[in-house]
Structure 1
Amino acid sequence: MELKEAISKRVSIRYYDNREVEEEKIKSLIEAAIRAPTASALENWLFVIYKSEQARKRIHEIMFESHIEYYQAQGLPEEKLEKLKSKILENGMYKAPMYIGVFIDKRIGILKDSRYSQLEFIWAIESAAGAIENLMLKAVELGLGTCYIGVTSFDKYQKELREMAGLEDNWYLVGLIPVGYPSEKIAPRRRRKSLDAIMRVV
């Protein structure tokens, strides 16, 4: 598969088959992820694979709770919230055979001056974000679907996801990625903004 094809076919998949993801494919995803650029060559990332039935059940509940909080914060009308609740709970939105939590260690840095601590934290997030994109593109090649979930990084949810993985407070969840075989049609969506609107040459 050409890279151009993988990029165009990468869409956010919200519904998955129950089919388990093969172990070799999981390893291929992580191997692709860690080929991303890594700030100061620190490789400051950790990929937690949530596969147990108990973990997946609770994560699906967290997806529900965190999305409701997100849309309530936006001021979404109650009738739309009810539709969303139905989609997630009854129709199984985001219910995947596995989830990958991508964490960074807030303690890790290379610059001694504390003035740069926040910047190094941002660099680590950028590195993890690059790893997530690599992982998602590899998933396309392997016939898998993914979806980037950010709302699980709300403090109380990422605290619980850390605890589920046996991680201490120094670990920060950059994103949670459902992974599985898509049960919905893959239909790439056009971007709303044109190249002229988002590109500047100086």
Structure 2
Amino acid sequence: MSTHIIACGPSGFAGAGRIMCNGLQNATEHGGKCTYVGPVTPFPWARGGSGDVEVTWRDEPVRSGAIGAGAAIANESVLLPLELADSLMRAARLSAAEGNEPVIWAHYLFPYGAAGLMAAALLRGSGVPVRLWLNPAGSDIWEVGPQLSELATGLLRDPGVDRIVTYSLSFAAELSDQYGVNRPIDVLKPCLGGGYRPLSAVDRAAARRRLGLPVDAFLISMHSNM
């Protein structure tokens, strides 16, 4: 039985999106089977493609006459967690029927982790074995989490979550301290995609000239979304 990682997460966030895509591509390069479930192709794959990672979503959005101001459902975005959960369930059920061991890997607790836990619980209740990995991110803990403290704490402590993965030892410690997570948290450091290649000496020299930098100067360069 082979493991099949079925992932969901943000498509447009530079940090989390890139880390998720690189992790999935590295898994396929080592023989794993991976699928991304979401309404938009993640931006790292928009130009260069996703390699051996399957990208899938529903054929049609969920439609209802009860959507709009004053209706039961305020707007279509309210349905996204439910669409995610339904799509994760479909992918996992099909994978299990094909003899694979499905793993739902949700990046960001909100709404992806919540959708993943819903899907995993319903699948298990119907007899489909599935594992659930949560990959919380900074805004889950520092921004949204404090506003949804019951939900954040419940997700991180839920026994239905098989694995919590994060990006650094310091962030893992912060999760444990702030939300009372008394379980192992695995640290998976951000990886480079297989397409990464360092610049040659000629290209580095050309880049320095283009930027007006001294050829032999020692430089420290920092690139982030801070």
TM-score (norm 2): 0.26
Structure with greater proportional helix content: 1
TM-score, normalised via structure 1 length? 0.28
Q: Which has the higher contact order (CA 8 A, sep 6+)?
A: 1
